[in-house]
Chains A and B, each alone.
Chain A
Amino acid sequence: MSSDGNAALKLAEVSREEVDAVVVRFAGDSGDGIQLTGSRFADATAVAGQDLETFPDFPAEIRAPLGTTYGVSAFQINFGSGVILTSGDAPDVLVALNPAALIVNIEEVKPGGLVIVDSGSFSDKNLQKAGYKSNPLEDDSLEKYRIFPIDISRLTLESVNDIEVNKRDGLRCKNMWTLGLISWMYDRELAPTSNWLEGKFGKKLPDVAKANIAALKAGHAFGETAEMPDGVRGYSIQPADFEPGIYRTVTGTEATAWGLVAGARLAGLDITMCSYPITPASGLLHVLARLKSYGVTTFQAEDEIAAVGAAIGASYAGSLGVTSSSGPGIALKTEAIGLAIATELPLIVVNTQRAGPSTGMPTKTEQSDLYLAVYGRNADSPLVVISAHSSADSFDVAIEAVRLATKYMTPVIILSDTYIANAAEPWRVPDADHFEPFKVDFRTESAGFQPFMRDDKTLARPWVKPGTPGLEHRIGGLERAYDSGNVSYDPKNHQRMTNVRVKKIEGIADDIPLQSVEVGTDSGQLAVVGWGSTYGPIRTAVINLRAEGKAVSHIHLRYINPMPKNLGELLARFDKVLVPEMNMGQLSTILRDRFLVPAEGLHKVTGKPFRIVEIEDGIRASLEK
Chain B
Amino acid sequence: MNDIAAAAELTPKDFTSDQEIRWCPGCGDYAIVKIVRKALAEIGTPTENVVFVSGIGCAARFPYYMATYGFHTIHGRAPAIATGVKLANPDLDVWVVGGDGDMLSIGGNHTLHAVRRNVDLNILLFNNEIYGLTKGQYSPTSREGTRSPSTPMGSVDHPVSATSFALGAGARFVARSVDTNQKHMPMVLKRAHDHKGASFVEIFQNCIVYNDGVFNDFTEKKTAPDTQLHVEHGKPLIFGAEGNKGIRVNHDILDLEVVTVGENGVTMDDVLVHDETNRTLAGWLARMEAPDFPVAIGVLYCNPTESYDAAVGQQIADAKKKAPQASLNSLLQSGHTWTVEPH
Asked if A pairs with B, the answer is yes
Chain A residues with a Cβ under 8 A of chain B: 43, 46-47, 49, 192, 242-249, 258, 261-262, 265, 270, 272, 274, 291-295, 297, 299, 301-303, 305-307, 309-319, 321, 335-336, 338-339, 343, 428-433, 435, 465-478, 486-487
Point out the residues of chain B lying under 8 angstroms from A433, CB to CB: 329
Point out the residues of chain B lying under 8 angstroms from A472, CB to CB: 47-48, 67-69
Point out the residues of chain A lying under 8 angstroms from B324, CB to CB: 293
Point out the residues of chain A lying under 8 angstroms from B17, CB to CB: 474
* A487 and B337 in contact, given A310-B87, A317-B88 (Cβ under 8 angstroms): no
* A319 and B48 in contact, given A305-B77, A429-B337 (Cβ under 8 angstroms): no
| A310 near B332: Cβ-Cβ < 8 Å | no
| A292 near B92: Cβ-Cβ < 8 Å | no
Query: Which of B49, B72, B86, B339 makes the CB contact (< 8 A) with A476?
Result: B72
* A475 and B72 in contact, given A245-B340, A247-B337, A432-B329 (Cβ under 8 angstroms): yes
Point out the residues of chain A lying under 8 angstroms from B312, CB to CB: 297, 299
Query: Which of B19, B74, B326 makes the CB contact (< 8 A) with A339?
Result: B74
Point out the residues of chain B lying under 8 angstroms from A432, CB to CB: 327-329, 332
Query: Which of A291, A314, A343, A466 neighbours the largest number of chain B CB atoms within 10 Å of its CB?
Result: A466
Question: How far is A244 from B239 in the complex, measured between Cα atoms in Å?
Answer: 83
Question: How far is A246 from B322 in the complex, measured between Cα atoms in Å?
Answer: 26
Point out the residues of chain A lying under 8 angstroms from B221, CB to CB: none
Point out the residues of chain A lying under 8 angstroms from B332, CB to CB: 248, 258, 262, 429-430, 432
Query: Which of B73, B83, B322, B331 makes the CB contact (< 8 A) with A261?
Result: B331
- CB of B112 within 8 Å of the partner chain: yes
- Nearest chain A CB to B298 CB, angstrom units: 30
Question: How far is A429 from B338 in the complex, measured between Cα atoms in Å?
Answer: 10
Query: Which of B47, B56, B81, B336 neighbours the largest number of chain A CB atoms within 10 Å of its CB?
Result: B81
| A309 near B341: Cβ-Cβ < 8 Å | no
Query: Which of A49, A244, A313, A487 makes the CB contact (< 8 A) with B80?
Result: A313
| B73 near A476: Cβ-Cβ < 8 Å | yes
* B36-44, B273-281, B313-321 - the one binding chain A: B313-321
Query: Which of B80, B87, B336, B339 neighbours the largest number of chain A CB atoms within 10 Å of its CB?
Result: B80
- Nearest chain A CB to B326 CB, angstrom units: 4
Query: 7 tightest CB-CB pairs across the interface, nearest first?
Result: A313-B84, A476-B72, A310-B84, A432-B328, A292-B319, A319-B88, A309-B80
| A248 near B337: Cβ-Cβ < 8 Å | yes
| B71 near A242: Cβ-Cβ < 8 Å | no
Query: What 15 additional pairs, Cβ within 8 angstroms, besides A293-B324, A302-B109, A313-B86?
Result: A242-B340, A247-B340, A248-B335, A249-B336, A261-B331, A294-B331, A309-B81, A310-B81, A312-B73, A313-B84, A429-B333, A466-B48, A472-B48, A474-B17, A475-B70
Query: Which of A312, A335, A428 makes the CB contact (< 8 A) with B81?
Result: A312
- Nearest chain B CB to A436 CB, angstrom units: 13
Point out the residues of chain B lying under 8 angstroms from A192, CB to CB: 336
Q: Return the chain A residue nearest B65 by Cβ.
A: A474
Point out the residues of chain A lying under 8 angstroms from B88, CB to CB: 270, 272, 297, 313-319, 321
| Residue-wise interface mask of B (214-253) relative to A, using a CB-CB cutoff of 8 A (1 in contact, 0 not) | 0000000000000000000000000000000000000000
Could you show 23 A-B contacts with beta carbons less than 8 Å apart? A244-B339, A244-B342, A245-B339, A248-B335, A248-B338, A258-B331, A272-B84, A292-B316, A293-B324, A297-B316, A299-B84, A302-B113, A313-B88, A317-B86, A317-B89, A319-B87, A335-B74, A466-B51, A469-B48, A470-B48, A472-B47, A478-B72, A486-B19
Question: How far is A532 from B324 in the complex, measured between Cα atoms in Å?
Answer: 36
- Nearest chain A CB to B202 CB, angstrom units: 21
Question: How far is A338 from B74 in the complex, measured between Cα atoms in Å?
Answer: 10
- Nearest chain B CB to A44 CB, angstrom units: 11
- CB of B204 within 8 Å of the partner chain: no
Question: How far is A293 from B110 in the complex, measured between Cα atoms in Å?
Answer: 28
| Residue-wise interface mask of B (151-183) relative to A, using a CB-CB cutoff of 8 A (1 in contact, 0 not) | 000000000000000000000000000000000
- CB of B186 within 8 Å of the partner chain: no
Query: Which of A339, A431, A477 makes the CB contact (< 8 A) with B329?
Result: A431
| B336 near A318: Cβ-Cβ < 8 Å | no
Q: Return the chain A residue nearest B113 by Cβ.
A: A302
Q: Return the chain A residue nearest B18 by Cβ.
A: A486
Point out the residues of chain A lying under 8 angstroms from B71, CB to CB: 313, 316, 343, 474-476
- CB of B5 within 8 Å of the partner chain: no
Question: How far is A173 from B73 in the complex, measured between Cα atoms in Å?
Answer: 54
- Nearest chain A CB to B99 CB, angstrom units: 16
Question: How far is A457 from B81 in the complex, measured between Cα atoms in Å?
Answer: 30
Question: How far is A312 from B335 in the complex, measured between Cα atoms in Å?
Answer: 33
Q: Return the chain A residue nearest B46 by Cβ.
A: A469
Point out the residues of chain B lying under 8 angstroms from A303, CB to CB: 109
Question: How far is A30 from B241 in the complex, measured between Cα atoms in Å?
Answer: 73
Point out the residues of chain A lying under 8 angstroms from B341, CB to CB: 244
Point out the residues of chain A lying under 8 angstroms from B72, CB to CB: 474-478
Point out the residues of chain A lying under 8 angstroms from B69, CB to CB: 466-467, 472-474
Query: Which of B66, B87, B113, B337 neighbours the largest number of chain A CB atoms within 10 Å of its CB?
Result: B87
| A244 near B343: Cβ-Cβ < 8 Å | yes
- Nearest chain A CB to B343 CB, angstrom units: 7
